[in-house]
Amino acid sequence: MPKDVAIIGVGQSAFSRKYSGSVREMVFEAFAEAVRDAGITPKDIDASLVCSAPEYDKQRSPAGLIAEYLGLNPQPTFVLENICASGTSGVRVAYSLIKAGLHDIVAVIGFQKMSEISSAESQERMGRGADIMWEAPFGTMMPAYYAMHAQVHFARYNTTEEDLALIRVKASKYGAINDRAVFRKELTVEQCLSAGVVSSPLKVYDCCANADGASCLILANAARAKEASSQPVWILGLGAASATMNLTGRQFLDGLQVTRLAARQAYRMAGLSPRDVDVAEVHDCFTIAELMAYEDLGFAEPGRGKELIREGQTYIGGKIPVNVDGGLLSKGHPIGATGGSQVRTIVLQLRGEAGPMQVPGAEVGLVQNIGGVGIYSNVIILGR
């Protein structure tokens, strides 16, 4: 189990419907928190990776601007984009920069200010995160693609709309106690089931909330990590994979092959198995995505993910607590900030600093972050 690269600082702005400042100011909130948390100064940071989906940004080439505002010149900086998986792709690249010996300390900064465009425009842009020649001309969008996965899961495994509602109810319970979440209301199964249909069978509360937000992670090599931090959280395993963008190239729709492949790599690198994981953050952009993640990550056999949520096993106190910070569903999903926020949650869990969301005694945590509809997947395993 490698202990070469650690996360020594984490930060996140509050996720909100509409941030009342500029992108640079929003990013600064997350950055300042992470740098203070790491006990370093901006000049200790050797390079920065800025993770963002540029179709939402008015600023072109935001890395230059962000590095300037954060005081990170003249160190190298660049943008990294994998749509919703940008943040964890940033972690993968930062890990390799550090392992290669090019840099000692790297900042992974993620942001998105979704409120600068309307929801319909946002869906249209997300829809263009699929094949623009052969899919988008039919009027595609993210909820529709995940709905098509849900239809297959329902037909093959008798999963139900109630199962999906149970996942949202869990997310809302933890979103209500997370002061960084955008959606703070608790929901009932009845409320979830009676909400309007977006793309059958997914209804309003099966979909995550767009949000404005920023996240920041500070990664360091072993020597600098031990020097700067009393509680470094180590990157034990990394996995990443891609799949055809067009759904016509997928072998199955009742799970995501990219996650299965990325998880296998990450478990192998860490020398761990699914039952070693004490707490997980999975990419619940839609309720069905969390259900598929239970199975793709090996927490449940294929088709049996519904039993985990029906039995409450993914709550704190259950076999494998998942998204106990509210997840994308309630915490919110500012595209480029999401991966960093997921990692931050796990780091706080492993340091015992997750407050009311703490999973007692958590030693190993897992993050699964998806880009597009299963186009990209990153799985990261973290440990104390």
Partner 1 sequence: MGFEKFGRKSYTAQTKVAEFVDRLAQGEICATRCRSCGRIYFPPRADCSFCLGDAMEWVKIPETGKLASFTRVYYAPAGFEADVPYTLALVNFGDVKVFGRLSSAVEESTIKIGMDLKPIVLEMPDGQITYEFIPVEECGR
Q: Give the binding site for partner 1 (CB under 8 A).
A: 118, 120-121, 123-124, 126-128, 131-141, 143-144, 147-149, 151-152, 155, 196-202, 246-249, 253
* Pairwise CA distance, residues 258 & 237, whole Å: 16
Q: Are 337 and 112 in contact (CB under 8 A)?
A: yes
CA dihedral 355, 357, 362, 366 (to 10 degrees): -130
Q: How far is the CB of 350 from partner 1 (least distance, A)?
A: 38
Q: Are 117 and 24 in contact (CB under 8 A)?
A: no
| Catalytic (active site) residue 333 | yes
Cis, peptide link before residue 201, omega less than 30° from 0:
yes
| Closer Cβ to partner 1, 167 or 247, answer by number | 247
Q: How far is the CB of 168 from partner 1 (least distance, A)?
A: 17
Q: How far is the CB of 127 from partner 1 (least distance, A)?
A: 5
| Closer Cβ to partner 1, 67 or 285, answer by number | 285
* Pairwise CA distance, residues 330 & 343, whole Å: 16
Q: How far is the CB of 156 from partner 1 (least distance, A)?
A: 8
| Catalytic (active site) residue 283 | no
| Closer Cβ to partner 1, 129 or 326, answer by number | 129
Choice among 51, 84, 216, 285 that is catalytic: 84
| Closer Cβ to partner 1, 148 or 322, answer by number | 148
Q: Are 327 and 281 in contact (CB under 8 A)?
A: yes
| Residue 154 burial class via C-beta count within 10 angstroms: exposed 0-12, middle 13-18, buried 19 and up | middle
Tell me, what DSSP letter sits at residue 84?
A: B
- State the catalytic residues: 84, 333
